Amino acid sequence: MSRRILRLVEAALWVAGATALTVVFSAVPSLLFGDGLPTLKYVLFVVGLLLFGLGSFAIQPPRPGRDEQRVTVQSDEPADVEVALQQVPPLRGRLLPYEDRVSRDWKLFLTGVATLAVSLAMEVFLGVGP
């Protein structure tokens, strides 16, 4: 498998896992304390919008000539979850160095888009309304 495909697969698994965790952690309080699926849809919209906004700021390139602090979630070392993700098929046995992976900033942005897509799908395809 080429390095480019490995990068895309790793990013897709990361985004899918983060989106699934976002849905699960949003579903518990929405179902316990809210009105069920309509509350979940709105919570996912708000959380998705926040992730999308933070990711949008994080993926901006630095301005030339300015030494400002940038918004970023990137670090120099992989998190434990990212190390464990390398053991999930189809990545198992194919080492992708941390420096070659898609940045966490882009993954956060894509997680926001995916979370917004889940909220939209709940409304359009499942008919979850107010």
For the stretch 111-120, pLDDT in tens is 999 999 999 9
Helix 104-124 × helix 37-58 angle, to 10°: 150
Torsion of CA 122, 125, 128, 130, to 10 degrees: 100
Please name which of 125, 122, 115 lies closest in space to residue 51, comparing C-alpha atoms.
Answer: 115
CA dist 98 and 92 (Å) reads: 15
pLDDT at 66: 67
* pTM (2 d.p.): 0.88
pLDDT at 88: 79
Please name which of 53, 27, 54, 52 lies closest in space to residue 42, comparing C-alpha atoms.
Answer: 27
- pLDDT value at 44 more than 70: yes
Mean pLDDT of the chain: 87
